[in-house]
Amino acid sequence: MAKNLVIVESPVKANTIGKFLGKDYKIIASAGHVRDLPKSQIGVDLESNFEPKYITIRGKGDIISKLKKEAKAAKNVFLATDPDREGEAISWHLAHLLKIDEEDKCRITFNEITKNAVKNAIKAPRAIDMDLVNAQQARRILDRIVGYKISPLLWRKVRKGLSAGRVQSVAAKLICDREEEIENFEPEEYWSLIASLQKKKGGKSFDAKFYGRADEKIELKNETQVKEILKKLKSKDYVVKKVKKGEKKKSPAPPFTTSTMQQEASRKLGFATRKTMIIAQQLYEGIEIKGHGALGLVTYIRTDSTRISDEAQQSSQKYIEERYGKKYVPEKFRTFKNKSASQDAHEAIRPTYVDMDPDSVRASLTNDQYKLYKLIWSRFVASQMSSALYDTISADIFAGDLLFKANGSKIKFQGFVAVYTEGKDDEAADEDVTIPELEENEQLNLKKLEDKQHFTQPPARYTEATLVKTLEEEGIGRPSTYAPIITTIMSRGYVEREKKFLFPTELGKIVNDIMKNHFEDIVDVKFTSELERKLDDVEEGSKVWAALIGDFYGPFSMTLKEAEDKIGNIEIKDEETDVICEKCGRNMVIKMGRFGKFLACPGFPECRNTKAIVEEAGVSCPKCEGKVLVKKTRKGRRYLGCENNPTCDFMTWNMASEEKCATCGSFMMKKRSGKKETLICSKEGCGYAKEGEME
């Protein structure tokens, strides 16, 4: 038996750590939580200080028996679960089952799974932090009370199987509110007027935008107004009256927090938040790297801090100087200001070994692991580099007394841009806009005047990236909860995603209306944000967890009673389809099940016929000419398959386009890689491909 037992959550993490410690250490994985509240009941004593009733999680008996046996034989037991509230709670539950005293120095934490970090942690064990545990317990109990008290009400009043969550309901409300804004939006007309100008001696033309007069900006609101301006501009000379040259400095974005990593992976890689976290966890826990063994490639992935350790900054600056040159290293270490709600418990997300660049480990990573690692590595390295410098020029150009403005910029020194530029939700990009060298009182040639009518646009629907950004800005949830929040509201059928945009379903709108009208505090952004701050107070030891729940539960129980009395029965009519039930002849309806929508006979329970919803792709199978159907895996991933399956094995993850192959006439498929799209022929062996246009 080993003298020392180290317990972690996952087998991958156990394998990585096992490479760093000698034969005197045995590493075992608990496979996540070992105790939790029961599923069959609320599991919280509402009459006795909200005491939770924990039970051993079903299926964990063998693991717990093994842990008890190994712990009994070991001289020292180290609990090495993740360094956050959830990890602290898992260690506390393990300590309870293994009969380890809470005050024993058994807890070790590390922000990165590297040899030095693990060995240093082993040398400095501490007692379990009960403030962290109590903050996790308080969140778990709050969520349980809300879920187990409101959900049965929805079952009785609306439909069996519905549920409401404390933080998820706020996220759903944000999406519903945005949809309402879009529906109620009234567009307003406006116009733009752009002069395309050229120097007298020729050269490339450039654009100048109409501004107004020297002392007055004029908003162009209708065609009549534009025509009046165009009349005044007739036969006018365009003269440069003022030229201003300058230099603009642009600083890099900070290294990733959980939120910004999820946002950027959504923008640049097209990853869903859940996918990002799964891949990031793999990079954190450790991957077998050829020539190096198992390595944790990135630091802890659940953080809201942009802080970087001195050691990491020093190694990054050394790497940057060697790879890019001294001028790419800033004069002093960069520091980034954290948001006021940041807990700053961990560093930002960064590579554990900066000199292990993405291409050097590519052969050991899956394609998705490589993409995310490259994103994290590039963002971190860029964050420690010199600013980019731009030469700027602006010119005021008059036609009579009417003013046009032209602005240009050109990169002078790349700095961090040599490695990375941050993505934007509106897909705008920093590009060089060149205008020629201009001199004051210089006269220009007018090439053309272009007037355009525009209309103001409604706010865009949320994407996963912009929803995560809003949740973070509003202080709703914490780094570990963003991905589960989005997954939950989608799996419940309250929100759907079309292309990259999130929109509420009819069911989502109905549940949101009930929550908004009868549980105002639960879906109130400020109330939820304030509750998050109180949970932080519990973590810091300045608030008692049971008192926090008591303050919440008193008003909540009154609200619950009022809602029970006020809410009448709400009938949600199932959407009828033109698909006829072959067993009884009724029109089948759309139902929501565990794995999404399906068709069911409305004659239930007399007729129990159900079938999958068939979505035709509108193209013919390149193998047998049968219809191609859009199908879904159990996890919701879409793919194309032939209706004649299993006799025809045609299947592809690529979606169909409207184009036909110029070589063989089969349909072309959209193959995406990040923001790039290629059209490829669906017929095996044809090989025809062309560059596509992103939607």
Residue 395 has what pLDDT?
A: 97
Within a domain: 194: yes
Average predicted confidence (pLDDT) for the chain: 91
Which of 156-170, 184-198, 325-339 has the highest mean predicted lDDT (pLDDT)?
A: 184-198
Is 300 in the active site? yes
Instruction: Give residue-wise pLDDT tens across range 611-620.
Output: 887 788 889 9
Same domain for 161 and 204, yes or no, is: no
Residue 553 has what pLDDT?
A: 95
Residue 109 has what pLDDT?
A: 94
pLDDT(271) > 60: yes
Q: What is the CATH number of the domain that holds 78?
A: 3.40.50.140
Residue 634 has what pLDDT?
A: 63
Same domain for 179 and 195, yes or no, is: no
The amino acid that residue 88 corresponds to is: E
Within a domain: 689: no
Within a domain: 213: yes
Residue 403 has what pLDDT?
A: 97
Same domain for 344 and 430, yes or no, is: no
Between helices 525-539 and 130-157, what is the axis angle to 10°? 150
Within a domain: 687: no
Same domain for 379 and 232, yes or no, is: no
pLDDT(138) > 60: yes
The structure tokens 């807990």 sit at 343
Same domain for 166 and 273, yes or no, is: no
The residue among 455, 483, 510 that closes a domain is 455
Residue 428 has what pLDDT?
A: 46
> Measured between alpha carbons, how far is residue 88 from residues 3, 467, 575 in Å?
23, 28, 47
Provide the 3-class DSSP secondary structure of residue 411.
Answer: strand
Residue 132 has what pLDDT?
A: 95
Same domain for 275 and 360, yes or no, is: yes
The residue among 367, 383, 399 that closes a domain is 383
Same domain for 262 and 346, yes or no, is: yes
Same domain for 180 and 197, yes or no, is: no
CA triple 437-439-441, angle to 5 deg: 150
* Confidence band for 425, pLDDT divided at 50, 70 and 90: low
Same domain for 180 and 225, yes or no, is: no
Residue from 54, 238, 300, 420 carrying the catalytic annotation: 300
Residue 339 has what pLDDT?
A: 65
CA triple 54-55-59, angle to 5 deg: 145
The residue among 94, 111, 128 that closes a domain is 128
Where is pLDDT greater, at 335 or 533?
Answer: 533
Same domain for 450 and 465, yes or no, is: no
Q: Which of 29, 120, 114 is nearest to 296 (CA)?
A: 114
Residue 337 has what pLDDT?
A: 79
pLDDT(1) > 70: no
Within a domain: 686: no
Same domain for 216 and 305, yes or no, is: no
pLDDT(597) > 80: no
- Would you give the end-to-end CA distance of the chain in angstroms? 60
Within a domain: 668: no
pLDDT(466) > 80: yes
Full DSSP string of 69-100: HHHHH-SEEEE---SSHHHHHHHHHHHHHTT-
Where is pLDDT greater, at 45 or 577?
Answer: 45
The structure tokens 């059928």 sit at 493
Q: pTM above 0.75? A: yes
Q: What is the CATH number of the domain that holds 410?
A: 2.70.20.10
Q: What is the CATH number of the domain that holds 549?
A: 1.10.460.10
3-state SS, one letter per residue, for 485-553: HHHHHHHCCCEEEECCEEEECHHHHHHHHHHHHHCCCCCCHHHHHHHHHHHHHHHCCCCCHHHHHHHHH
Within a domain: 649: no
Which of 326-340, 455-469, 611-625 has the highest mean predicted lDDT (pLDDT)?
A: 455-469
Same domain for 146 and 245, yes or no, is: no
> Measured between alpha carbons, how far is residue 30 from residues 56, 66, 81 in Å?
12, 10, 9
Are the CB atoms for 610 and 597 separated by under 8 Å? no
Where is pLDDT greater, at 316 or 595?
Answer: 316
Are the CB atoms for 539 and 135 separated by under 8 Å? yes
Q: Which residue range(s) make up the domain with 375?
A: 258-383
Within a domain: 509: yes
Residue 429 has what pLDDT?
A: 46
CA-to-CA distance for 241 and 239, rounded, in angstroms?
A: 6
Residue 417 has what pLDDT?
A: 94
Could you give the percent of the chain with pLDDT greater than 90?
74
CA-to-CA distance for 537 and 539, rounded, in angstroms?
A: 5
Buried b (16+ CB within 10 A) or exposed e, 372-385: bbbbbbbbbbbbbb
Number of compact structural domains in the chain = 4
Q: Which of 177, 124, 122, 172 is nearest to 150 (CA)?
A: 172
pLDDT(91) > 60: yes
Residue 163 has what pLDDT?
A: 86
Residue 528 has what pLDDT?
A: 93
Q: What is the CATH number of the domain that holds 374?
A: 1.10.290.10
| Mean pLDDT computed over 279-301 | 93
* Confidence band for 635, pLDDT divided at 50, 70 and 90: low
